[in-house]
Structure 1
């Protein structure tokens, strides 16, 4: 069939192919421009390549552009493919798929946000899962999600804990019962994190550093920090 008898512009197709090839360049700036071009073209045939690159791309800015490029496509095409990646053995693949799903915001992906992902052994994957879960959780299921997230209290360093606290705070008042339960946990790290999160829930403008230091003081004094106001 001659090109003029189809709906495809052969020049656009050639440009997309070149852009996809650019995603494999050794230059991060070339890869960034290529991801921008692929996203602008929004050719569904590029989705698989974009997802594959997300798993191996070393540059944060390029990965973010790859995510943007994927959001330019129909969620009916991208979401099933991204959900499939959540079972990958590659931590970066799982994390970037989760991040992209959070940007797409299609709640059909919610069943794929499993307890295993929310407790993923890789901190970055878990952080992505927490953020994505808060975006996708259906109305009425927030309390259940809060309960699962609370099992991660006390995990990791300050940045990891801050990510979890932000996710819990974003769920609103439904997190109060699980935080009140956590402030009696035998582990001091869990108690401190729960108290700090409760402080942030009551005063979102309070810095996490201040909240965690106050929580350390409360735990050291042997009080729960969950008194009624």
Structure 2
């Protein structure tokens, strides 16, 4: 990490981001975001990769969104190649919050199908925010390959991402509803249920999908 000018206030804030006390780190991230300074960007990104507390990570992300995207986005894209899963997932989460579509080419199929569920979920959320107009169908075709993956939280994240793409998902869901794997069929039917009736809720949609699959019909 490139060291900032060693003025006392800057160095104090940088040290606070590494403090053992979670509340100190949280206040430091808040302070850095309240008074953005390009000298903090490296440290904020570095901390995102290793910060153990969710609330602090979220504040670090907020602090990054307060800085110029011209400075943060290239560095966040670099983090997507990190071997550390948290670095990848947090960079993806931050890119989704920044919302700069210049990052779209970096949301690769490899990330969308990452073996780590948290990375994949962050990639799905980032992808639906950043996808350019006209490329929704291509994204849907990749996302649908993940149907049936993981537990309820992962499946809900995927369904929400697919539903956010709107009618572009209808053709791929129709195909997925005939998949030989019951788990995939259930997830596809539940996702279609959410698309048709967003107020129904995922739990209801997945239970209804189980019933439909058990009866051997997609209707």
TM-score w.r.t. length of structure 1: 0.92
CA distance in 2, matches of 1:203, 1:14: 56
Q: In the alignment, which of 94, 100, 111 is matched to residue 88 of structure 2?
A: 94
Report how far residue 19 of structure 1 moved: 1.0
In the alignment, structure 2 segments of 5+ residues that lack a partner are none
SS in 2 for 1:154: coil
Report how far residue 17 of structure 1 moved: 2.1
Bigger CA radius of gyration: 1
For the aligned residues, what is the CA RMSD?
Answer: 1.2
CA distance in 2, matches of 1:37, 1:44: 14
Q: In the alignment, which of 112, 116, 123 is matched to residue 118 of structure 1?
A: 112
Report how far residue 14 of structure 1 moved: 2.9
In the alignment, structure 1 segments of 5+ residues that lack a partner are 1-9
Aligned counterpart, 1:82: 76
CA distance in 2, matches of 1:14, 1:72: 22
Give yes or no for the alignment of 1:224 onto 2:218.
Answer: yes
Give yes or no for the alignment of 1:131 onto 2:125.
Answer: yes
Give yes or no for the alignment of 1:61 onto 2:55.
Answer: yes
Q: In the alignment, which of 140, 150, 159 is matched to residue 146 of structure 1?
A: 140
Give yes or no for the alignment of 1:103 onto 2:88.
Answer: no
Aligned counterpart, 1:26: 20
CA distance in 1, matches of 2:192, 2:134: 21
CA distance in 1, matches of 2:50, 2:151: 25
Instruction: Say if 1:16 and 1:41, in contact at 8 Å, map to a contact too.
Output: no
Aligned counterpart, 1:72: 66
CA distance in 2, matches of 1:116, 1:87: 10
CA distance in 2, matches of 1:165, 1:39: 32
Alignment length, in residue pairs? 215
CA distance in 2, matches of 1:172, 1:223: 24
